[in-house]
Structures are given as C-alpha cells and as structure tokens.
Amino acid sequence: MPNQPPSNQDIDFTVMPSIPNAPRPEPRAEAPKSIPPSVPPGVMPPKSPGPKKFKFSPEMRKWVAASGAVVLILLLGILIYYLVTNARKNEEPVKQTKLPRVWLNQHFGSESCTDESRCSDESDPDSDGLINYNEFKEGTNPNKADSDEDGLADGDEINIYKTEPGLKYTDRREIAVIKDYNDARDVAENYDPITPGVKMTDVRLRQIENDTKTFGLHEPTITTLAALREKTANPNVKTVSVFIENDKFSPESVVVSKGDTVVWLNKDAVNHQVVYEANSSFGGFQSPKLEQNQTFSFTAEVSGKFEYKDQLNPQIKGTLEVK
C-alpha cells in the first residue's frame, strides 16, 4: 500500500496509578497432578468399565417374542390377501343371473350355475323353446320339455298356441277332463283350447301359422300332433272313460277296438295308480300316481283281454278287452 502521511492527531494512553503500601496478591497454587500407579512390566493395565449393558428379563423376552409373532402373522396375512386379490382380478368375471338360488338348487343341484350350457338364464336344457329365465317366470320345469304332460312342448304352448304350459287342460270344463281333451288333442282336432268347445277361427289359424314360422315347433309337439292327426283321420277311433271312485273302477270292464283310447279319471280324494304288468303278448302300461281329478290315458294297439289293478290298492281290479 502507498505510504500515508503521518497523522497530526496525538495518541493518549491512560495508566492506572500505583497505590503506595498496597498488598500484592498471593500467587495461585496449582493443584497437584495425579500420578498413575505404576504397572509392572508385562502386565496389562486394567480396562476402564464401559457403559452398563441392558439385560432383558424373561418376561420382557416373552413379550418381545409374542409381539414379533403377531407382526409376522399380520405381514403374512397382508401377503396372502394381496395374492388372492390379484388372482381374483385375473379370473373371468362371474356372470350375473336373475335366477333365484333356491330355483337353481331345485332344478340343477347347486345354488350357483356351474354349467353355462345348462343353467344360465339364456340356456334351454330341455330344448322346448323356452329359456331358463322364462321357465322360472312360468313355473315350468327347465329339465322337462312338457311340464304338464299334455303333449305340447312348454315353449310351443306359450309362443304359438297361447295355452297354459302348467295346465294339461286349458279347457277347464269337466267334459274335457272326462274325454281327455287335453291341449294337444284340441289343437290336433282344430279346437281352440282358449275358447272351449269352439273350432279355431281363420284369424287364430293364421296366428298359429305365423308364430310357428317364427319360433318353430319342438318335441314332443311334433310327434304328438302327428300321431293324433293320424288317429283323427280314422273316424272309427273312439275314447272310452273309466272313473276311479269309491275305491273301484267304473265300469270295471270295458271293451274297445285297436286304436281306441282309454282314459282313467281319479275322482277319489286318495291317490290311485293304474297298472298292467307286461306279458309276452302285451307290453303293459302303468300310470303315475293319480291325485284327485288327474287322468291317465292309454291307446290299445294289441288284441286280447287284460286284467289290470290299482298298484296302491291291489284289491281294486278291472278288465280291458281289446278286439
């Protein structure tokens, strides 16, 4: 740095004056230094004690072990939940159904559908033209094409003929039951089941024709109507009625010709079952258990005289003679 010119200001110093005869302070004595004890040669000096270690009590160890086990179980549960959740995400979505579990269990043996081809809402396992959901709504059997055993498929009754699929005689007159004019027989002979005793009109026939083209006929409708129309073409064929009342067949003996039909009608409050056991010349027949006002029909095709009985009440017997 360049030389600066001296300052013209004076510098003052203040000096404390000494006091005559004042006592002088004593010099401070130093603390004696500690001399470590002498250690003989070859001997290690003792180690200074370190920090005191914390020791777990037995109760504390048990608590720590239990806490660790709980944490491990929680972690394992979280892992399993994660794996299961991801696995479900990769599965195919479960199809929703409108069918009640009770209904599925009743007809397919399980409260959930395990076979989409048989028990889904849109399936038709009995091939009667009626899907399962419609079978449920109509109260029909999804595993039986003809629930009321009138010879017409359930789907054909609803979609084409407009008859009751759960009622063998849509024509509810007593004469229809006695003469066994079920829905199929009405249709085969061009009588309208929904207008009892009246022949089908041209409008009704056109409606049936158009709906048949749309929905098609299903078994057993096709086979039943073909057989009935062939029988109707023969004017000599007739139907004979036998009543079951007061624990006996009335009449007890009937005579018919080949091709004729015998209809048994149970008018008793108890069940009956008409049966003829097969032999070498005749195939035999057996009705289901007939409740009150239920019928069973049989078409005679073999000549002979046959004694039949009530399977549930063997003392009740009758005779059928076919000429």
- List, for residues 233-278, the tens digit of each pLDDT value: 776 778 889 999 999 999 999 999 888 889 999 999 999 999 987 7
Residue 59 one-letter amino acid: E
Question: Within 10 Å of residue 223's Cβ, how many Cβ atoms?
Answer: 10
pLDDT grade for 1, boundaries at 50, 70 and 90? very low
CATH superfamily of the domain spanning 239-322:
Cupredoxins -  blue copper proteins (2.60.40.420)
Pairwise pLDDT comparison (279 vs 199), residue with the higher score: 199
- Report domain extents, the chain: 97-144, 149-233, 239-322
Angle 165-200-228 from CA coordinates, rounded to 5°: 65
**CB under 8 Å to 154, separation ≥6 — which residues?**
126, 128, 129, 130, 135, 138, 140, 141, 145, 146, 147, 165
Calpha distance 255→248 (Å, rounded): 17
pLDDT in tens, 144-162: 999 999 999 999 999 999 9
pLDDT grade for 22, boundaries at 50, 70 and 90? low
Residue 61 one-letter amino acid: R
Mean pLDDT over the full length of the chain: 83
pLDDT in tens, 173-206: 888 888 888 999 999 989 999 998 889 999 999 9
pLDDT in tens, 116-127: 999 999 999 999
Strands 295-299 and 285-286 come out as unpaired
SS3 state at 91:
coil
**CB under 8 Å to 23, separation ≥6 — which residues?**
none
Residue with tokens 């005191």: 52
SS3 state at 109:
coil
Q: Specify whether the CB–CB gap between 153 and 161 falls below 8 A.
A: no
pLDDT grade for 102, boundaries at 50, 70 and 90? very high
Return the H-helix or E-strand segment holding 67.
helix 58-90
